[in-house]
Structure 1
Amino acid sequence: MIEIAGGVELPARRESVRLQTTDGLTLVGELALPLEREPVATLVCLHPLPTHGGFMDSHVIRKAAARLPALADLAVLRFNFRGVSSPHGTSQGEFGHGIEERYDLAAAMEFVAQRALPDPWLLGWSFGTEVALKWGLSHPIVGAILLSPPLHRATADELAAWAGSGKRLVAVIPELDDYLRPAEARERFAAVPEAEVVAVEGGRHLWVGEKQTRRVLTEIVERLNPEALPLPTEWNGPLS
């Protein structure tokens, strides 16, 4: 019996993948699937700002891929945006300021369609939320979960376009965020009456610490596979 914390990686079918964009780039990524069952839903992860160290191994995204296939029967697709490097390799291209990354998201969603992965949700974190808000509506997703959305690049019109779209929108807002705190978030997201704004007491933009990681993963699973809750904190079995 071991504690599920830190860098613990639970069993899953893990595959290095290459995503091809329509503007001619190859992006590196990984697909993680439940080891012995088919996934019940799919998480497409959009990482934080590349110019400030964001990549597909940013800790919340890495831990989602490490834990949620085993704990919640989720497929987790994560990848490096254009021009971003990680231990998995380097995606071609250069930083696109949230504009050119629309092609990266489209490549990921094409991969999801090709693999017939079920019920896709976007998981954006910081910069990744901007990509999700700006370009997510054009794809067949169930919804988007936004971790620490700064609302710097997504315009008011782009946010308001989610109203009445039929796609779910969940904004998980740290109480002590550096850019957007719960009170302002409620005002900004009022443009989408059906949006959920979840305020996390004591939370910070980077979600540092196991308590905050578990809270974020619980919010994800509550939307994608609530029957898997509560998430266990210990694992009794072999590791990957």
Structure 2
Amino acid sequence: MGDIRASTVLPARREEIILHTTDGLELVGELALPPDGRPPAATLVCLHPLPTAEGMMDSHVLRKASYRLPALADVAVLRFNTRGTSSARGTSQGEFGGGETERYDVAAALEYVEYHDLPRPWLLGWSFGTELALKWGRDPLVAGLLLLSPPLHRASDADLDAWGADGRPVVALVPEHDDYLRPAEARARFKRIPQAEVVAVDGAKHLWVGEPYVRIVLNEIVRRVAPAAHPLPTESPDA
């Protein structure tokens, strides 16, 4: 057994993928599936932070989810670069659309999930990615939303009201020291979604820097999407 550290990469079946949008773009991504042919219990579709501020599919919490959750929780993790975004995987076609034309990117990811029969997709948004989830994620396929550091800049009250009427689960993880939206204000704003859970994380900041905060985030995710795997172990024979 070894401790799971910030740099740990656990076994998974990893596949480079291309998503195709209805407005004619190709988006680069990766799908990580549980190892040894095990079927996934659920799927995370990751929507990364703001690309004009270095957000991408490799932003560290999303990358660590893909490195750990397939092995530890049998959760499939789909990450991709939204239009015009670059990472080590490559650059997606198109240009940053301010959160508007990215609606086609979210739809392309969900189309891929449906075509490949990936089960119980949850949208996992972080910062800018939470805006995409709230604005464009109400596809019938989606099981619920997991929102990390939601700024609620682009998502309107009408978007929140629509999720409130929809009834599907919405979970917001809000850092105590967030740069944009802190827990007290988040609770007030999310009252428009009666079923929303706002989880305040003491000591955390917008970027979730530090292994203790990453573990909190991943455990809160797994608690919702694959509860049989909660709590996640801190050691693994593969670490």
The TM-score with structure 1 as length reference comes to 0.97
Which residue is equivalent to 2:5? 5
Which residue is equivalent to 2:231? 230
Q: What amino acid maps onto 2:137 in structure 1? A: G
Residue-by-residue CA offset, 1:13-72 (whole Å, 9 max, x unaligned) = 000000000000000000000012100000000000000000000000000000000000
Question: Once superposed, which parts of structure 1, at least 4 consecutive aligned residues long, lie more than 2 Å away?
Answer: none
Separation of aligned partners in 2, 1:105 and 1:229: 28
Residue-by-residue CA offset, 1:59-98 (whole Å, 9 max, x unaligned) = 0000000000000000000000000111101100010100
Residues 12 and 34, structure 1, Cα contact 8 Å, conserved in 2? yes
Which moved further from structure 2: 72-81 or 131-140?
A: 131-140
Separation of aligned partners in 1, 2:154 and 2:167: 23
Tell me the CA shift for residue 166 of structure 1: 2.9
Secondary structure of 1:146's counterpart equals strand
Q: What amino acid maps onto 2:108 in structure 1? A: A
Residues 20 and 26, structure 1, Cα contact 8 Å, conserved in 2? yes
Matching of residue 164 in structure 1 with residue 165 in structure 2: yes
Tell me the CA shift for residue 200 of structure 1: 0.5
Residue-by-residue CA offset, 1:181-218 (whole Å, 9 max, x unaligned) = 00000100000111101011111100000000000000
Separation of aligned partners in 2, 1:187 and 1:230: 29
Separation of aligned partners in 1, 2:167 and 2:76: 22
Residues 109 and 139, structure 1, Cα contact 8 Å, conserved in 2? no
Residues 168 and 195, structure 2, Cα contact 8 Å, conserved in 1? no
- RMSD across aligned C-alpha pairs, in angstroms? 0.8
Residue-by-residue CA offset, 1:161-195 (whole Å, 9 max, x unaligned) = 10131311001100110000000001000001111
Tell me the CA shift for residue 139 of structure 1: 4.2
Matching of residue 179 in structure 1 with residue 155 in structure 2: no
Q: How many residues align?
A: 238
Secondary structure of 1:66's counterpart equals helix
Secondary structure of 2:94's counterpart equals coil
Secondary structure of 1:202's counterpart equals strand
Which residue is equivalent to 1:133? 134
Tell me the CA shift for residue 8 of structure 1: 1.1
Residues 84 and 93, structure 2, Cα contact 8 Å, conserved in 1? yes
Q: Superposition pairs for residues 91-240 of structure 1, below 5 Å?
A: 91-237=92-238
Separation of aligned partners in 2, 1:101 and 1:195: 24
Identity of aligned residues (%): 65
* Gaps in structure 1 of 5+ consecutive residues: none
CA 97–139 in structure 1, closer or farther in 2 if over 3 Å, else same? farther
Q: What amino acid maps onto 2:227 in structure 1? A: P
